[in-house]
């Protein structure tokens, strides 16, 4: 718990970012979780995953931009990414963060940037997942998603629900009713106990409850689609069991894992005939993403440190 808090603090600290990113070898360490710094490296990583029967979602790393120019640049990067995916013929959609597209600057700025991305994605028949960030962004993220879906008519967009938030059951009930496409994860940010479950057992129990609710016959009738994003065998087995009991076809949901995490388990899911998607981040803004991965699993810190000194 202490380690988690420490790394989540480092993820947000600008000073730590400057110091740690400047360390020789830091980028090499991050490569365990990041496909590379360039778009070409992201596409190549997807090609390799596709060859093994895995689907992907590409994330051009970046978050919390503070100028409209940077938000517009991030938007352009996603347009280029969508064109590159279509040109390369690889099987991947994209994931992005709203603070990368200017949510801290203004709702409308962000909305307009995402609208352009959704239009380009639609022109290529592709799909965009809006990642979920810290709890300060939950409300505006869901509002922006619904605005684009209901007022602008986009069907190629989905959101993320975090099982650690107390509010998520209500959100899942509403989104299931709306026939939404969601990714369910545990949640990667530091949240106070009045907002999020502090005990891992409560988070896990809520995860299974939310997954089952979203896979219920009523939700499926509405067209709801679930992506189960976890590396936790207990969560994966619970979903497999429920889906089998309910006779839910395997194309009505999918499993998702992160690049560089449990690759053998990813392959095992494919071998069992489950749709499995890998989240592939690339780009130069890898620092906060890398720190959140270290926060999730202190064992990663020792794994990386050992390899670093061995090399």
Ligand X SMILES: Cc1cc2nc3c(=O)[nH]c(=O)nc-3n(C[C@H](O)[C@H](O)[C@H](O)COP(=O)(O)OP(=O)(O)OC[C@H]3O[C@@H](n4cnc5c(N)ncnc54)[C@H](O)[C@@H]3O)c2cc1C
Concerning whether 183 is annotated as a catalytic residue, the answer is yes
Closer residue to ligand X, CB minimum distance, 46 or 185: 185
- Find, among 158, 164, 161, the residue nearest to 179 by Cα: 158
Closer residue to ligand X, CB minimum distance, 135 or 156: 135
Among residues 189, 197, 286, 290, which is the contact residue for ligand X, using CB under 6 A?
189
* Binding-site string for ligand X from residue 65 to residue 104, where x marks contact by CB under 6 A and - marks none: ----------------------------------------
Closer residue to ligand X, CB minimum distance, 83 or 202: 202
Catalytic one of 129, 149, 183, 220: 183
**β-strands 128-130, 92-96 pairing:** parallel
Per-residue burial over 228-247, b if 16 or more Cβ lie within 10 Å, else e, is bbbbeeebbebbbebbeeee
E strand or H helix at 258: strand 253-258
**Residue 112 — φ and ψ, nearest 5°?**
-65, -40
CB of 35 to ligand X, least distance (A): 14
Q: Which of residues 233-292 bind ligand X (CB under 6 A)?
A: 256-258, 261-262, 279
Among residues 81, 118, 121, 160, which is the contact residue for ligand X, using CB under 6 A?
160
Tokens at residue 84, please? 């590159």
Concerning whether 199 is annotated as a catalytic residue, the answer is no
Stretch that binds ligand X, among 6-14, 112-120, 169-177, 180-188 (CB under 6 A): 180-188
CB of 297 to ligand X, least distance (A): 5
Tokens at residue 287, please? 């620092």
Query: Given the structure tokens 């939950």, which residue do they identify?
Result: 138
CB of 138 to ligand X, least distance (A): 10
CB of 173 to ligand X, least distance (A): 20
Q: Binding to ligand X by residue 181, rule CB under 6 A? A: no
Report how many residues bind ligand X under the rule CB under 6 A. 22
- Give me the half-sphere count of Cα atoms (radius 13 Å) on the Cβ side of residue 254: 19
Q: Binding to ligand X by residue 231, rule CB under 6 A? A: yes
CB of 79 to ligand X, least distance (A): 21
Closer residue to ligand X, CB minimum distance, 178 or 296: 296
Closer residue to ligand X, CB minimum distance, 113 or 230: 230
State the DSSP string of 268-302.
Answer: HHHHTT--EEEEEEESS--HHHHHHHHHH-HHHHH
**What is the C-alpha radius of gyration for the chain, rounded to an integer number of angstroms?**
19
The DSSP code for 44 is H
Separation CA 68–CA 200 (nearest Å): 38
The DSSP code for 115 is H
Closer residue to ligand X, CB minimum distance, 70 or 296: 296
Separation CA 113–CA 77 (nearest Å): 11
Separation CA 116–CA 31 (nearest Å): 30
CB of 69 to ligand X, least distance (A): 25
Q: Which of residues 118-147 bind ligand X (CB under 6 A)?
A: 131-132
Among residues 187, 281, 283, 288, which is the contact residue for ligand X, using CB under 6 A?
187
> Which residues have a Cβ under 8 Å from the Cβ of 293 and sit 6 or more positions away?
33, 258, 261, 300
Interface ranges with ligand X (CB under 6 A): 131-132, 160, 162, 185-189, 229-232, 256-258, 261-262, 279, 296-297, 300
Active site residues: 131, 183
């Amino acid at each position: 718990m202490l380690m988690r808090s420490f790394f989540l603090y480092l993820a947000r600290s600008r000073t730590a970012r400057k110091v740690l990113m400047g360390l020789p070898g830091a980028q090499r360490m991050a490569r365990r979780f990041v496909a590379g710094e360039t778009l070409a490296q992201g596409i190549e990583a997807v090609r390799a995953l596709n060859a093994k029967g895995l689907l992907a979602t590409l994330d051009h790393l970046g978050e919390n931009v503070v100028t409209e120019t940077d938000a517009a640049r991030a938007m352009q990067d996603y347009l280029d990414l969508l064109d590159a995916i279509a040109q390369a013929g690889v099987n991947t959609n994209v994931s992005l963060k709203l603070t990368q597209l200017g949510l801290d600057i203004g709702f409308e700025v962000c909305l307009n940037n995402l609208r352009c991305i959704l239009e380009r994605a639609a022109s290529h028949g592709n799909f965009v997942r809006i990642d979920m960030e810290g709890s300060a962004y939950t409300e505006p993220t869901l509002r922006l998603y619904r605005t684009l879906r209901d007022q602008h008519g986009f069907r190629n967009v989905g959101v993320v629900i975090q099982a650690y938030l107390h509010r998520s059951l209500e959100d899942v009930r509403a989104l299931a009713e709306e026939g939404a496409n969601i990714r369910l994860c545990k949640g990667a940010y530091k949240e106070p106990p009045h907002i999020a479950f502090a005990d891992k057992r409560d988070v896990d129990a809520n995860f299974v409850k939310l997954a089952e609710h979203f896979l219920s016959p009523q939700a499926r009738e509405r067209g709801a689609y679930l992506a189960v994003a976890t590396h936790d065998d207990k969560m994966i087995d619970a979903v497999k069991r429920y889906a089998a009991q309910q006779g839910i076809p395997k194309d009505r949901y999918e499993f998702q894992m992160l690049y560089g995490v449990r690759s053998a388990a990813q392959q095992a899911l494919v071998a069992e005939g489950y749709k499995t998607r890998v989240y592939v981040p690339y780009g130069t803004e890898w620092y906060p993403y890398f720190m959140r991965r270290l926060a999730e699993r202190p064992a990663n810190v020792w794994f990386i440190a050992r390899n670093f000194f061995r090399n």
